[in-house]
Amino acid sequence: MFKFKNYQMKLIQPKDLDSYYYFGFHDISEETRYFTGTTEQFTKGQIESYILKISEDTTRYDFLISEGDEIVGEAVLSDINGKNCHFRIAIFNKRNFSGGIGFSATKILLDFAFDDLDLEVVELEVFPFNERGIALYSKLGFNLVDQIIDDEAEDPYREILIMRLNKENHVHG
């Protein structure tokens, strides 16, 4: 478990289903759905299956970001393969945007990835219209390395930017 300000980050567990479903899928803001590209609705049963699957997956670390009993977001290191992984973060409700939660949680997970897991590269995908996300990632040392087009996606989700942070460019703590 990690702590910052009034928040804590802990690995998701099956017992978190009710809160995770409520805050992450029922009470989620339209802005979060837009910035994450979430276009479908999920049932509680689907989320339960997802939690059971990811909580046993040794190639990922899924952290819930909480303030008291409220889950305000999630931060994930996934697809850990040798010295590389994928990163994503979502703050579930607009009222929690721009308060430093995403910055602090990302910084903590990057320290964890590079120091504790001894990874060399963390990569992420972000939509070009997510200017706040791009600014955050750039501030933390991520560089734009590629731009891809998802031919199966609909606008505005077709264009995806790939950003990467190498261990030697990571500024700790």
| pLDDT digit string (tens) for the chain, length 173 residues | 899 999 999 999 999 999 999 988 877 777 876 777 777 888 999 999 999 999 999 999 999 999 999 999 999 999 999 899 999 999 998 888 888 999 999 999 999 999 999 999 999 999 999 999 999 999 999 999 999 998 988 888 889 999 999 999 988 76
- Counting the structural domains of the chain, the total is 1
Does the pTM surpass 0.85? The reply is yes
- How is residue 16 annotated by DSSP? G
What pLDDT is attached to residue 29?
74
Domain that holds residue 29: 2-169
What pLDDT is attached to residue 146?
95
Instruction: Give the CATH number, domain containing residue 73.
Output: 3.40.630.30
What pLDDT is attached to residue 24?
87
List the 2-4 sheet strands across, edge first: 2-4, 7-11, 61-67, 70-81, 84-91, 121-126, 159-166, 143-149
What pLDDT is attached to residue 33?
67
Write the CB contacts of 122 (distance below 8 Å, at least 6 apart in sequence): 77, 84, 85, 86, 87, 110, 113, 114, 142, 164, 165
Strands 84-91 and 159-166, bridge-based pairing: unpaired
- Residue where the block lists tokens 């339209």: 30
| 4 contacts 104 by C-beta, under 8 angstroms | yes
The CA distance from 55 to 97, in Å, is 27
